[in-house]
């Protein structure tokens, strides 16, 4: 029989669609049974059932759950606690799977290329899992192995996401999400390309080479493929480990995290677009940041970064025309002053800590459960009257990164003069100079 790759891909997508539907239907049935038989404990049981279902399904649906659990109190506490486990403790694939996948990537003699290899994963996530290993030279390694059939899983899940967003446009027509769907699809497909991730890792490694307080793994090319990424191992503790520490320690952790995320945007026009809690750790009592995952590094046009800076400066002085110019640099089109004012509701929420020249928390007295909800409701209601508006694709992961970073600061209870931190990162900013630096840096790693 003639092998047809396209038919195989289609078959894989159909199978994935069926598994997702069956899995979520099973979780729904469990929810109903828990409501009937578990009494007051049904919330915790339902949360565990959903986590187990998403963990088995892997792929983009699991990434959505990770994103939702990052924002404090966005979900009921029992759901947030269970889904947070998916970030660093997702259900792993067993030793037989690991042996088959390693042989498929490095050949049947793969084990001999390592001095040691732990078949039990150190961490498991949505698209792959990470194993500890040791090189023959003694260097400790992290080996990231992609799950099988992820390309089919991604295409199937993205198809369901597009259908969901299309339904949302029909029901709530104030926001056109077509660009959002395209952006999410492109970024998640990039996450399947471990060659690209290795190049992004080298980009960040070169950028932070002079900073001992921000560490980046080094990829090991001879032990990597397009679906297997081997890198140096970095020791550290998760952010949650510091929540009960003193204020100075939590502030120190927040400061190095702020600089690790935002300085690459200002100086190179790139951002780590997946800031969930499993993608970084801290060493040296919180004084050093380990950036751990580079599958979702978003490269922005210098004009977009200029718009980020321009909007901050315009809002600082109440320059309405400058605000519209900044939104247009982000890709928003045909903005009236009314629509710009609506966008400003959300922008002032995101930029709020940066506009306030004093030491404060990110939420500044707002309960974590209310963080952003009032503004989101106001934007929705205002767009129903003033809209519609098309969300430009560049905005999607910028907004996601900002929310994720703010959520990390909320988890920590960190307090800083965020404006001064941000202004320090802008020192000497020039859009043309950024464009030149970006071009040179991307060329140096082949991005």
Please indicate, yes or no, if residue 142 is contained in any of the structural domains: no
Asked whether residue 186 falls in the same domain as residue 317, the answer is yes
Q: What is the model's pLDDT at position 312? A: 95
List 175's β-bridge partners, or say none.
389
Whether 181 has a pLDDT exceeding 80, the answer reads no
Assess if residue 109 is contained within a domain.
no
Residue 116 above 90 pLDDT? yes
Query: Which residues have CB under 8 Å from 156's CB, separation 6+?
Result: 12, 13, 14, 16, 17, 20
The set of long-range contacts for 366-369, using a CB threshold of 8 Å and a minimum separation of 24, is 367/73, 368/72, 368/73, 368/410, 369/72, 369/73
283 has pLDDT over 80:
yes
In this structure, the answer to whether residues 192 and 79 fall within a common structural domain is no
Write out the DSSP string of 389-419.
EEPPHHHHHHHHHHHHHHHHHHHHT--B-HH
Instruction: Decide if 311 contacts 335 (C-beta within 8 A).
Output: no
Which pLDDT value is given to residue 164?
57
Please tell me the least confidently modeled range out of 32-36, 299-303, 347-351, 418-422.
Answer: 32-36
pLDDT in tens, 348-393: 988 999 999 999 998 887 665 566 667 777 877 787 787 778 888 8
* Alpha-carbon gap, residue 63 to 245, rounded angstroms: 29
Q: Which of 57, 88, 119 is a domain's end point?
A: 88
Residue numbers of the domain that contains 318: 172-216+234-447
Is 240 part of any domain? Answer: yes
**Where is 289: in which H helix or E strand?**
strand 288-291
> Per the domain annotation, does 301 fall within a domain?
yes
Please tell me the number of Cα atoms within 13 Å of 79 on its side-chain side: 18
- Is the domain of 84 the same as that of 179? no
Looking at per-residue confidence, does 82 or 180 come out higher?
Answer: 180
Q: Are 356 and 143 in contact (CB under 8 A)?
A: no
Q: Is the pTM of this model over 0.95?
A: no
Q: Considering the domain boundaries, does residue 418 fall inside one?
A: yes
Final residue before a domain boundary, out of 54, 88, 122: 88
Render 359-372 in DSSP notation, one character per residue: -B-SSTT--GGGTT
Model pLDDT, residue 17:
41
Please say which residue of 88, 110, 125 terminates a domain: 88
List own/partner pairs for 217-223 with CB under 8 A and 24 or more apart. 217/142, 217/290, 217/292, 220/135, 220/141, 223/106, 223/113, 223/114, 223/135, 223/141, 223/143
In a domain, 117, yes or no: no
| Residue 405 Cα distances to 41, 58, 150, 274, angstroms | 32, 24, 28, 10
pLDDT digits (tens, 9 = 90+) for 43-67: 456 556 545 544 454 555 555 555 4
User: Looking at the predicted structure, is the pLDDT value of residue 1 above 50?
Assistant: no
Distant-in-sequence contacts of 336-340, Cβ < 8 A, 24+ apart: 336/386, 338/386, 339/386, 339/387, 339/389
Of 238, 245, 229, the C-alpha closest to 192 is 229
DSSP 25-89: HHHHHHHHHHHHHSGGGHHHHHHHHHHHHHHHH-HHHHHHHHHHHHSTTSS-HHHHHHHHHHHH-
Q: Is 332 helix (H, G, I), strand (E, B) or coil?
A: coil
Highest mean pLDDT among 69-73, 214-218, 394-398: 214-218
What is the pLDDT, as a whole number, of residue 187? Answer: 82
Please name every residue paired with 116 in a beta bridge, in sequence order, or none if there are none. 134
Of 256, 244, 227, the C-alpha closest to 102 is: 227
Name 134's Cβ contacts closer than 8 Å, sequence gap at least 6. 114, 115, 116, 117, 140, 141
Q: How many domains does the chain have?
A: 2
* C-beta separation of 145 from 98 below 8 A: yes
Which residue, among 62, 27, 89, 276, has the nearest Cα to 153 in the 3D structure? 62
Please indicate, yes or no, whether residues 261 and 354 belong to a single structural domain of this protein. yes
Judged by phi (left if over 0) then psi (alpha if -120 to 50, else beta), residue 17 lies in alpha
Are 73 and 192 part of one and the same domain? no
193 falls within a domain: yes
pLDDT mean across residues, the chain: 79
- For residues 372 and 353, the answer to whether their CB atoms sit within 8 Å is no
Residue 266 predicted with pLDDT over 70? yes
In a domain, 329, yes or no: yes
């Amino acid at each position: 029989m003639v092998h047809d790759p396209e038919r195989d891909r289609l078959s894989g997508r159909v199978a994935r669609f069926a598994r997702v539907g069956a899995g979520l239907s099973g979780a729904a049935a469990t929810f109903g049974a828990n409501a009937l038989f578990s009494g007051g404990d049904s919330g915790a049981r339902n949360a565990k059932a959903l986590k187990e279902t998403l963990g088995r399904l892997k792929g983009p649906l699991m990434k959505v759950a990770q994103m939702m659990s990052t924002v404090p109190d966005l979900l009921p506490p029992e759901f947030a606690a269970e889904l947070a486990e998916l970030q660093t403790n997702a259900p792993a694939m067993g030793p037989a799977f690991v042996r088959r996948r390693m042989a498929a990537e490095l050949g049947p003699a793969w084990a001999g290329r390592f001095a040691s290899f732990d078949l039990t994963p150190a961490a498991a996530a949505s698209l792959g899992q990470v194993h500890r290993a040791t090189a023959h030279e003694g260097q400790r390694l992290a080996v990231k192995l992609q799950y099988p059939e992820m390309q089919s899983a991604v295409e199937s899940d993205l198809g369901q996401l597009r259908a969901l967003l299309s339904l949302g446009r029909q029901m709530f027509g104030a926001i056109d999400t077509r660009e959002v769907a395209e952006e999410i699809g492109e970024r998640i497909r990039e996450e399947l390309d471990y060659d690209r991730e290795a190049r992004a890792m080298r980009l960040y490694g070169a950028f932070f080479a002079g900073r001992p307080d921000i560490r980046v793994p080094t990829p090991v090319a001879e032990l990597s493929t397009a679906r297997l990424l081997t890198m140096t191992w970095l020791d550290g503790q998760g952010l949650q480990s510091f929540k009960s520490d003193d204020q100075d320690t939590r502030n120190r952790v927040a400061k190095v995290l702020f600089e690790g995320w935002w300085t690459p945007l200002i100086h190179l026009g790139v951002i780590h677009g997946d800031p969930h809690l499993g993608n970084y750790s801290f060493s040296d009592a919180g004084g050093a940041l380990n950036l751990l995952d580079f599958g979702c590094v978003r490269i922005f046009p210098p004009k977009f970064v200029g718009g980020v800076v321009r909007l901050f400066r315009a809002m600082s002085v109440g320059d309405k025309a400058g605000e519209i110019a900044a939104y247009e640099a982000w890709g928003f089109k045909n903005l009236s002053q009314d629509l710009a004012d609506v966008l400003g509701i959300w922008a002032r929420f995101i930029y709020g800590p940066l506009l306030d020249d004093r030491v404060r928390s990110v939420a500044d007295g707002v309960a974590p459960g209310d963080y952003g909800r009032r503004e989101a409701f106001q934007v929705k209601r205002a767009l129903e009257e003033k809209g519609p508006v098309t969300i430009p694709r560049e905005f999607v992961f910028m907004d996601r990164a900002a929310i994720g970073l703010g959520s990390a600061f909320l988890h920590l209870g960190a307090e800083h003069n965020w404006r001064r931190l941000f202004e320090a990162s802008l020192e000497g900013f020039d859009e043309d100079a950024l464009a030149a630096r970006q071009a040179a840096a991307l060329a140096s790693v082949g991005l």
